């Protein structure tokens, strides 16, 4: 049984910790200790109020379900303490220098960094961009104004430009753009729309390359109690953890 330490005890962390299959959450940490204590009561995992105590606990993999700020603050220390790492707030890796430092430390410590598919599907197939020419990638995301903290009465373009710039303005909403860029090793253009007529998170992906053309549309239900995050993002972490040691590997 894979032993998990959970960094972040909000809505997504709760979904992960209360749907354990093929893994066991043994420790939980959150800067708001009452969140860790509450999740501990639900799962039996030990709550930690001190990060240094948490990271020396007996678990194999640390799952980050907190924020980009948390990844930047804790990721290097997690790997240096001999833990593999699952990063949900992949927008933190849009910082080239930070990402390269993290990869370097992982290599030195023979640890692995896992990036789940998050709020989209087909992330593994986009890795063909590492070996075959990709001409263009566009991510068009539509969310409710509430989730983007906007007050608009009509469909409004909130951002248009590069993924690494969008993540700076909307760090909780567009992590998938950075995941796509990392998988494909290609710059991703983003259109982020606020639409008062939608109650779901919609991601449309347009890719052109030597392989042909790809279009996908994912319409996600928001996570319970958090309209900024897709429920699929939490489910993708559960799927990763369930299969992390499987002898049968499906997908590129």
Q: Is 226 annotated as a binding residue?
A: no
203 included as an active-site residue = yes
Q: Helices (H) and strands (E) in the chain — how many of each?
A: 8, 13
Residues 199, 70, 226: CA angle, nearest 5 degrees:
15
Lookup result for tokens 């949900």: 88
Between strands 134-143 and 189-194, the pairing is parallel
Length of the chain as a residue count: 252
Are residues 39 and 19 in contact, defined by beta-carbon separation less than 8 angstroms? Answer: no
Q: Is 175 annotated as a binding residue?
A: yes
**H or E element: which one contains 192?**
strand 189-194
Could you give the residue numbers annotated as active site? Answer: 203
Annotated binding residues for NAD(+) = 119, 175
Annotated binding residues = 119, 175
């Amino acid at each position: 049984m894979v032993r998990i330490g959970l960094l972040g005890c909000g809505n997504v962390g709760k979904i992960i910790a209360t749907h354990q299959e093929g893994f066991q959450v043994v420790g939980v940490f959150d800067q708001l200790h009452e969140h860790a204590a509450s999740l501990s009561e639900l799962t039996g995992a030990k709550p930690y109020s001190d990060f240094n105590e948490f990271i020396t606990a007996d678990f194999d993999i640390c799952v980050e379900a907190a924020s980009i700020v948390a990844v930047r603050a804790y990721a290097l220390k997690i790997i240096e303490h001999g833990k593999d790492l699952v990063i949900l707030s992949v927008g933190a890796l849009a910082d080239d220098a930070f990402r390269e430092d993290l990869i370097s430390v992982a290599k030195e410590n023979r640890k692995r960094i896992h990036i789940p598919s998050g709020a989209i599907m087909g992330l593994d197939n986009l890795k063909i961009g590492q070996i075959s020419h990709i001409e263009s990638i566009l991510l068009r995301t539509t969310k409710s104004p509430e989730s983007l903290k906007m007050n608009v009465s009509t469909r409004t373009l909130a951002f248009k430009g590069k993924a690494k710039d969008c993540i700076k303005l909307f760090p909780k909403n567009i992590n998938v753009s950075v995941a796509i860029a990392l998988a494909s090793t290609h710059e991703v253009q983003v259109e982020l729309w606020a639409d008062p007529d939608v109650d779901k998170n919609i991601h449309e992906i347009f890719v052109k390359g030597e392989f042909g053309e790809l279009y996908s549309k994912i319409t996600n239900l928001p996570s319970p109690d958090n309209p900024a995050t897709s429920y699929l993002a939490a489910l993708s972490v559960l799927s990763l953890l369930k299969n992390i040691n499987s002898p049968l590997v499906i997908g590129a």
